[in-house]
Each structure stands twice: as structure tokens, then as C-alpha cells.
Amino acid sequence: MITVIGAGKVGSAAAFDILRYKISDVVLIDTNEKAAQGEALDMMQAAPAIEFDGKIRGTSDFKEMAGSELVIVTAGLGRRPDMTRFDLMNTNAQIVKTIVKQVVKYAPHCKLMIVTNPVDIMTFISYKETGFPRTRLFGMGNILDSMRFRTYIANELGVSREDTRGLVIGEHGDSMVPLFEYASVSGIPATSLLTEEQMDKIYHATVTSGADVIQLKGSTVYAPGMVIAIMADAILTGRNRVMSVSTCLCGEYGTSEVSIGVPVVLGKKGVEKIIELELSNKTKERFDKSVAVVKEAIAALKD
């Protein structure tokens, strides 16, 4: 069973994608019980069309998460067009702290995925608050950035997005680091297909992509919902997918006491392995700057 905490746009989209791909039964928890129940009822009415016979229920009772293999936290203040992710930090920190205490109480053996922004900081707070091993606690961020990165590479080259591969590491925010040296199209290095001007264009588009959507429609919904479902599938089915997720580092990449996006093997136990990539000097400099940005934000958190 999977529990999604937060029945807003992203939480509900993720819950429906989890059902649509027949990954698991879902409990949808929100302080607004009617909203959670309404979303669950709406999804259940779509179940015949998606040929799903599992269960979806909405509630405000945290006890309902008991026995969950995976708990996904999407609750929190949404980002407005005039806000950075860090503007959300102190308000959402209090919300997340309250929620993860309930997770520890009712689902102490679960894998815990944080989605609430700024996700790297919320993941680190949750790690400290819960005492969970870092294998079982991680944040969604760079997988979404990587999807956007792949999209812009494919668009620029006029090729299939399916054949395009790429990774983004670092903060899920303005200091993220798209890795051109590890991007490819059907195994062909992207650096041999793209000009420097094209790479600069793709880099900028990837970094601003989330803000671009928020500026146009107020929030990102479909892409994060789908990414959450992909991560949930990797965990519940033990597929050992290689993905860039926000992970609490303990010496990897030369840093500690921070949660930030790096490639991992995501499987049945959660973060099965952290993959340490060899980075070029320029990329390492960008990654170190991204780490510094997140650490500075963590240090600025109000108690």
C-alpha cells in the first residue's frame, strides 16, 4: 500500500497515476477530509476505464497510513509565480515536521518520499526529524529536472524524447546542474551532436522550466505526478531504476550534512546505492556551488 499525504493538485495527480499504472492501492490523506474523500471518489469512478480493481480511499486520519510500504509527502504551501522555492522554506518546514512525526508513529518501517518544496531542505529536515536511515528517506526533484532536460535536448535535435537520456544533479532549483557529459541519444554522446550555443540554450531552459510553467498556469502538476508514480513503481516492484533523487550525503561527492540530488539505484529498499560520478572541473564547481546554496538555506532555517 502507498499513502499520499496532501490531496492538492500534485498529490492527487500522483495518486491517480499510481492507480492508472496499477502500482498499488492508495490512501490519500489531507487535513481537508472532504477534499481527500472527493478526490478518492472521483478516481474510483474512473477505475473501470483504467481497468483497476484496487482500492483508493480519502481520509484525514493519519492512522490510515499504517502498514504502508511507501509514504509520499506532497502537502505544503504551493509556490506562487513571484516566489522562489526558498521563500516557502520556513512555512513548509513546520508542516513537514508535523507530518513526518505522524509517519514515524504510524508507518515506522516505510520508505518516505518527500515532494514538498524546497524539496532538498524538506528532505534533510525529515531525515533529522525521523531518524530514518537515509536508504529509506529521499526526495523527488532531479528526476523531474532530468525529464525536462531530456525533453529540451530532444526538441533541439528534433529526435524522439524516448531515445534521449540525461541526468541533472544538485539542488532542485536555480543552482541545479544538467550533466551534458552524461547525456546521450541512443548511446551517442549529446556533446557530439550539440553546439555550445545549443547546450547553453538547453541548460537555461532546464533550469527555468518549473518557473516557466508556474508563471503560465500557476503550478506544475502532470510532470511531477508522473515522476512520483515512476519512483513508486521502482520501489514497490524492486526495479532498481537509476535516477537522480535528493539524498542525504555522508561523504559522497566530498560533502556531508546536506540532502541534494545525486544519481542512485532506487529499488525495494529505497536508495539501494549512491552512484558517485566523475565530474569535469566545471561541473564539479557548479555542483559544489549548488551544495553551498542548499547548506546556506538549511543554516538559515528558523527553529
What is the rounded distance in angstroms from the CA atom of residue 210 to the CA atom of residue 145?
A: 8
Single out the residue of 75, 119, 80 nearest to residue 98, CA to CA: 75
- List of residues 6+ apart from 232 with CB closer than 8 A: 2, 14, 18, 23, 24, 70, 72, 113
| 164 beta partners | 185
Single out the residue of 135, 12, 162 nearest to residue 74, CA to CA: 12
List 172, 241, 286, 295, catalytic entry: 172
- Helices 142-157, 222-237: axis angle to 10 degrees equals 120
CB atoms within 10 A of CB 221: 16
Strands ordered across the beta sheet of 111-114: 56-59, 26-29, 2-5, 70-73, 111-114, 137-139, 241-250, 256-267, 270-274
What is the rounded distance in angstroms from the CA atom of residue 58 to the CA atom of residue 38?
A: 7
Annotation marks residue 172 as catalytic: yes
- Helices 142-157, 196-217: axis angle to 10 degrees equals 120
- List of residues 6+ apart from 209 with CB closer than 8 A: 145, 148, 152
- Helices 119-130, 281-299: axis angle to 10 degrees equals 60
Q: Which residues are the active-site residues? A: 172
